[in-house]
Amino acid sequence: MDMATQRNEQPASSGAEDRRRQRRRRIRNTILAILAVPALIWLVLYITKGRFLKGPFETIVGRLTNREVKVGGDFQLYFAPWRIKFYAERFTIANPAWATQRYLFRADRLDTRIAPLSLIFGKRRLYWLDLVNGAVDLEWNREHTRNSWTFSEKKGGKRLEFPRIDVATVRGTTVRYLDPRMRVLANLKVDDIRSQDARIGHAVGVNGTGMIRETPFRVTAQLLSPDATANRGRNELVARAWAANNVVDVSGTLPSIAEIENVPLATRARGRNLAELLGIIGVVMPDTRRYAIRSQMVKDGEVYRFTRLGGTVGRSDVAGVLTVTNGNRVHLDSTIRTRNLDIIDAASIIGYNPDIVEAQGVVAAAAATGSGPRKLIPDSDLPVEKLRAFDADLKWSIGAVKSRRVPISDVEMTLDLERGRLALSPLSFAMARGNVATDIVFDTRQRPSAVSYDVRLAPTPMGRLLAGWGVEEAGTSGTIKGRVELAGRGDSFADSLATARGRIAFVMPQGTLWTRNVQLAELDIGTFVQKMFAGKLKKPVEINCGLIAFTVRGGIAAADPILIDTTKNVIVGRGGFSFRTEAIDLAVRADAKKFSLFSGQSPVGLGGYFSAPAMDVISPQLVGRAGVGLGLSLVASPLAGVLAFVDVGDAKSAACGPVLGGATAAAQRTTKGEARDDVGRGTTAKDEKGRDKPGKEQRKKFLGIF
């Protein structure tokens, strides 16, 4: 019984052992198979260099990047021995269909060793890289919604990322950048790069040329921290660009090599003319003298903000902020502060070149704009098409204007440009303790431009206003106020004023006026001579009221009227001036209210041009009186000769109501309510008396026009 039992147990034990051995063999074979397959794959790849994977590689990578990927020459992809070797000749990655260039990236040769696990975990790593004649094309589409380096047709797609590279040799690399909205094209060449242990060591240089709008430029840049850049760290960048006689420096730290959004960059610009700098982006402004400006620039999408702006333009300081929005239309929004504005720098506001003003004078500056000889009004046309291409809002505050003659301060200017309508409104400033408010509009949407001028002078002390022209502030209590309202057509100041219509009026309320030759101001030659020989003037001129007014028709301004009533005289003027030719033809005379001995009583002529006015004191009438006086002296006696220069003093005092109201000549009255016959009829005729005389009733032509 025991023997039988033992025989039955031995087969059972032997079967279990067999099963264990079979299981071990299966496990062994499975492990060997698992090891053999990769080994076989490795062996096949190593022997063939993976060249047969060229087609699958192009297909798979093309699907991952949504681009066509091609290898035009030799291709290798295998483990050597444990690192992935990738080698490709004439390797290309296509651009999206909308791009202007066929390839985003192409290289004559790309040879690298890749850490296998980095393709699955963590940051991608290349043990070494040899790149020959690589070319990168970076483009934005016209709508600025997509770029070529984002590997997706959907917004927010994955962008190209740079791996960690331990050892690299990069030669002959070029980069092309195109932004149709900004109208920027740059062709850059990158210096050859050699790195070791993931460190490049020295700065990497970039240089190239390009075009921004229609302006060519060249640029140099240096990556001061290339090691951090190679490891996708922070990037210390400095760059300098030259364009249109300007030099622009940019420096800052970028989060990554291709990221400048919302990154503060220190910016400096200098050049001979700030208008040339802004002209690069299609913005029009008056010419300036040499400038040097610094700011901090931050790009936020289509918006470029320049804050902490400061520097000098000519001999004037500037500070403030500037925002440039590069949307469908360029828009500038700026707030500028100036402590001291040099008057020569201010000349550019009305169209003069300030460099010419400083070197040769205003007449030469006007001639440079196209004005004729001896002219002052600039004749340079506004760039109408360019003004229609962008919009602008500017607020400019100026503490003081450095001027030798007229003290100007507290300037506040608001400029609004919208689709070709340019408005300086309001433009206000303090002048000689008075205030001037101005509204000027150039509407280029109408052809030719519709231009309007409205200048208002608040009551201003004449002593301070005219101090540069011989008026003594001490002893002068008189004030002056006025308004200029003109409207014309033309694309320049000269053209718009040459066609202008409107009115110019300056009113002088009661006050005193003291000048060095005060009676010459009253234009009473006899009284002036007596005072001159009598010694120093003891009493200032006492003005009751005065009006200097002109009616403008077709660019011709006619005295309407010139009437100043003082305690001693009534001063009247005739004639006018022309905005067309800038010629002046005025005759001013003073009628005494009291008996005056040795009074010439002859009009003093004011002629010449705006640029060179001339005074003619010795008029034909005065010469005639001298002849009569000489004749009487010879025929009768010397005392009789004096009679030719006697003024009986019959001038009629002016009613100050119409004068102070700025009324026309037709509305002027004497103190007795009678219509005045000595102030003309609002034309340019210069008949000296204005009384009814056959053949002289305001018919004299002015410069052949009236």
**Contact predicate 267/239, CB 8 Å:** no
Q: DSSP state, 1?
A: -
pLDDT, position 629: 41
d(CA 549, CA 544): 17
Q: What is the pLDDT of residues 532-558, one digit of tens each?
A: 323 344 567 788 999 999 999 999 999
Which one, of 376, 393, 382, lies nearest residue 445 by Cα? 382
Q: Classify residue 340 as exposed, middle or buried by CB count within 10 Å of its CB (0-12, 13-18, 19+).
A: middle
pLDDT, position 702: 36
Which one, of 86, 155, 159, 74, lies nearest residue 118 by Cα? 86
Average pLDDT estimate for 350-374: 67
pLDDT classification of 323: cutoffs 50, 70, 90 = very high
> Does residue 354 have a cis bond before it (omega within 30 degrees)?
no
* pLDDT of residue 470 exceeding 60: no
Helix (H) or strand (E) holding 494: helix 493-498
| DSSP per-residue letters across 189-229 | EEPPEEEBTTB--SPEEEEEEEEETTEEEEEEEEES-HHHH
Q: Classify residue 591 as exposed, middle or buried by CB count within 10 Å of its CB (0-12, 13-18, 19+).
A: buried
- Please give the C-alpha separations between residue 625 and each of 126, 519, 526, 602, 629, in angstroms, as whole numbers: 108, 20, 12, 9, 6
pLDDT classification of 320: cutoffs 50, 70, 90 = very high
**Contact predicate 592/527, CB 8 Å:** yes
* Strand ranges inside 255-389, DSSP E: 265-271, 291-300, 303-313, 316-326, 330-342
pLDDT, position 108: 95
Which one, of 658, 696, 663, 669, lies nearest residue 682 by Cα? 663
**Contact predicate 643/631, CB 8 Å:** no
* pLDDT of residue 703 exceeding 80: no
pLDDT, position 72: 93
The residues, ordered by sequence, that sit 6+ positions from 404 with a Cβ below 8 Å of its Cβ are: 343, 468
Q: What is the pLDDT of residues 491-519, one digit of tens each?
A: 988 899 999 999 999 998 988 876 654 34
d(CA 313, CA 349): 13
State the number of CA atoms in the 13 A half-sphere of 381 facing the CB: 11
Which one, of 556, 546, 485, 583, lies nearest residue 705 by Cα? 556
Which one, of 217, 196, 230, 219, lies nearest residue 280 by Cα? 217
Longest dimension (CA), the chain: 195
d(CA 688, CA 590): 10
Q: What is the pLDDT of residues 208-242, one digit of tens each?
A: 999 988 899 999 988 775 555 444 455 678 899 99
- Please give the C-alpha separations between residue 66 and each of 77, 92, 373, 528, 604, in angstroms, as whole numbers: 21, 13, 68, 96, 88
d(CA 223, CA 60): 34
Q: What is the pLDDT of residues 3-25, one digit of tens each?
A: 555 555 555 566 777 777 787 77
